[in-house]
Amino acid sequence: MAEIISGTAIRKEILSELKQEIQEMHEKHGIVPGLATILVGNNPASVSYVTLKAKTAKDIGCLEIQDNRPENISEQELLDIIRQYNDDPRIHGILVQLPLPRHINENKVLYAIDPDKDVDGFHPVNVGRMLIGGEVTGFLPCTPAGIQEMLVRSGTELSGAEVVVVGRSNIVGKPLSVLLAQKGRGGNATVTMVHTGTRNLAEHCRRADVLIVAAGRPGLVQADWIKPGATVIDVGVNRIGFNETTGKPILSGDVDFEAAEKIAGKITPVPGGVGPMTIAMLMKNTVLSAKRHLNLC
Ligand code: GUN
């Protein structure tokens, strides 16, 4: 049976490291990292994500401003709010929860965030910095950085490994493919990015020493797509129903977990795998931003 890579356990480790750093920052420099989370409307999934991000930030000792706005806010009002946080010295990270209502241009909003406070790593300046790599980097996008961190902390060999990434989204597939191919810690892999236009999807997957699936299709990857002993990272979060007693959604990944854990060497569960890592990396970026503000790195 495969070893389970627990995002929940790794998140706990990272958050306790960050809590310690924040305490020291407060003692030595008299400031704590500040995060502003902006939520427009009340999409239930977004409300639950933002609430968890805000709570986690508070738990580790950050200043947290949870800024909830009505669905009918105008694009201009939202841009003005972002400018206020750009100019607020207490705030080191700004996060606008996506998706936004249709009358608001998502890119226009994301591009208005100061790249040096863009802890989601979605601003084109940070995407460019990530692509160039090297020492002067901005903020890495949280889900790809979390996956890389899980691979490193679980002792998965990446250098020279065959990595197959299923999915080409701007949030996961594209940036992750770049990160894992970069030189250095957690990189140096041979990466193939496959997508809905790929012929023989299963054949590519069977070559993978590390298979990462971010397709948004429940149960897409079957056991016979997995090379025996491979590491499988399931990024899918699909709501496949509701628990009648609790009313909470039942989540499933993109991988047929029960069959896959008999073949894989290591595997991430859903929930409790990649999801918790995304929040941990958001906190890491917020602390990094505050350290940069203090010229500590
Ligand atoms: N919506 C879904 N995932 C994300 C994320 O990582 N960041 C933001 N801001 N919105 C999201």
Distance 97 CA to ligand 1 centre (A): 5
Contact criterion met (CB below 8 Å) for 2 and 265: yes
Distance from the CA of 13 to the center of ligand 1, in angstroms?
A: 22
pLDDT at position 103 is 98
What is d(CA 154, CA 157) in angstroms, rounded to the nearest whole number?
A: 9
Confidence (pLDDT) at 134? 83
pLDDT above 90 coverage of the chain, percent: 95
Place of tokens 């010295």: 89
Atom of ligand 1 nearest to the CA of 171: 6
For the CA of 96, the closest atom of ligand 1 is 9
Q: Residue 37 pLDDT > 80, yes or no? A: yes
Reported confidence tier of residue 203, pLDDT bands at 50, 70, 90: very high
CA distances from 14 to 87, 135, 228, 282, 290 (A): 29, 22, 30, 11, 17
The predicted structure's pLDDT at residue 194:
98
Catalytic residues: 53, 97, 120
**pLDDT tens for residues 96-154?**
999 999 999 999 999 999 999 999 999 999 999 999 998 778 999 999 999 999 999 99
How open is the CA angle 143-145-147, to the nearest 5 degrees? 70
Is residue 75 classed exposed, middle or buried when 0-12, 13-18 and 19+ CB atoms within 10 A define those classes? middle
Residue nearest to atom 3 of ligand 1 (CA): 98
Q: Which atom of ligand 1 is nearest to the CA of 278?
A: 6
Q: With the C-alpha atoms ordered 21, 23, 29, 30, is the resulting torsion angle positive or negative?
A: positive
Cβ neighbours around 235 below 10 Å, total: 30
Ligand 1 centre distance from Cα of residue 203 (Å): 31
pLDDT tens for each residue of 178-196: 999 999 999 999 999 999 9
The pLDDT tens digits for 238-289 are 988 999 999 888 999 999 999 999 999 999 999 999 999 999 999 999 999 9
CA-proximal residue: ligand 1, atom 1 (nearest) = 98
- The residue whose CA has the least distance to atom 8 of ligand 1 is 97
Give the nearest ligand 1 atom to 98 CA: 10
What does the pLDDT read at residue 208?
98
Pocket test for ligand 1, best of 82, 94, 98, 176 (most atoms within 8 A of CB): 98
In angstroms, what is the span from residue 261 Cα to ligand 1's centroid? Answer: 28
Q: Is 214 exposed, middle or buried (0-12, 13-18, 19+ CB in 10 A)?
A: buried
What is the SS3 assignment for 39? strand
Instruction: Please report the pLDDT score of residue 280 as a whole number.
Output: 98
Which uninterrupted H or E stretch holds 81?
helix 75-86
Query: For residue 277, is it left (φ>0), alpha (ψ between -120 and 50) or beta?
Result: alpha
Conformational region of residue 146, where left means phi above 0, alpha means psi within -120 to 50, and beta covers everything else = alpha
Which of 43, 67, 78, 97 gets mutated to test ligand 1 (max ligand atoms within 8 A of its CB)? 97
For ligand 1, the distance from its centroid to the CA atom of residue 95, given in whole angstroms, is: 8
Query: Are 140 and 176 within 8 A, CB to CB?
Result: no
Q: Whose CA is nearest to atom 11 of ligand 1?
A: 98
Q: Distance from the CA of 98 to the center of ligand 1, in angstroms? A: 5
The pLDDT value recorded for residue 135 is 76
Report the pocket of ligand 1 as residue ranges, CB < 6 Å: 95-98, 120, 142-143, 278
Nearest-angstrom CA–CA distance, 158 and 161: 5
Among the listed residues 18, 274, 67, 282, the one whose alpha carbon sits nearest the alpha carbon of residue 154? 274
Provide CB contacts within 8 A for 39, sequence distance 6+: 46, 47, 50, 66, 67, 68, 69, 97
- Res 71: pLDDT: 98
| Closest ligand 1 atom to Cα of 95 | 9
Q: Measured between alpha carbons, how far is 110 from 290 in angstroms, rounded to an integer? A: 20
Question: Amino acid identity of 20?
Answer: Q
Q: What pLDDT, on a 0 to 100 scale, did the predictor assign at position 108?
A: 98
